[in-house]
Amino acid sequence: MQIRQARTMTLDVITSPLGYMQAVKRAVAAITFLVAYGYELKDDDEMLLEADRGLRIFEKLLTPGAWLVDAFPILQLIPSWFPGANFKHLAKAWGRSCKRRELRLSTG
């Protein structure tokens, strides 16, 4: 599997040298999904897109200093309509997104 993915990645890099990072990401993800879950990714697999979306959200959540509410927990108490409470809307939207993914994954 690793050799096959390395070959696919090399061909992707040769055909599209500017998109080499995408080729590397896909190869690493394909190997990881197969080893961890026994799932073989296809080209432009929806699972890969879902994993990428989840990682982007996770990355934003863990960015130090990105959320004022982390420094001032009292801000959790402000209503969602209050100016500056955008973090509440994002949390709700991301939560719904994660629930939909869980439901899709559990139903196959």
Residues 62 and 76 reside in one and the same domain: yes
Residues 30 and 54 reside in one and the same domain: no
Structure-block tokens of residue 43: 């080209």
The total domain count for the chain is 2
Residue 65 has pLDDT above 60, yes or no: yes
Question: How far apart, in whole angstroms, are the C-alpha atoms of residue 64 and residue 38?
Answer: 34
Residues 64 and 34 reside in one and the same domain: no
CA dihedral (69, 74, 76, 80) positive or negative: negative
Reported as a single tens digit per residue, the pLDDT across 18-60 is 778 888 888 888 888 888 888 888 777 787 887 788 788 888 8
User: How far from the centroid of its chain's Cα atoms is residue 95's Cα?
Assistant: 13
Cα atoms found within 13 Å of the Cα of residue 61, Cβ hemisphere only: 13
Residues 105 and 66 reside in one and the same domain: yes
| Type of residue at 77 | L
Query: What count of residues does the chain have?
Result: 108
Residue 103: per-residue pLDDT: 60
Per the structure, the complete domain to which residue 71 belongs is given by 44-108
Residues 69 and 107 reside in one and the same domain: yes
Question: How far apart, in whole angstroms, are the C-alpha atoms of residue 106 and residue 97?
Answer: 14
In which band, very low, low, confident or very high, does the pLDDT at 69 lie, cut at 50, 70 and 90? confident
Residues 53 and 20 reside in one and the same domain: no
pTM of the model as a whole = 0.56
Residues 59 and 98 reside in one and the same domain: yes
Residues 71 and 94 reside in one and the same domain: yes
Reported as a single tens digit per residue, the pLDDT across 79-93 is 888 887 888 888 888
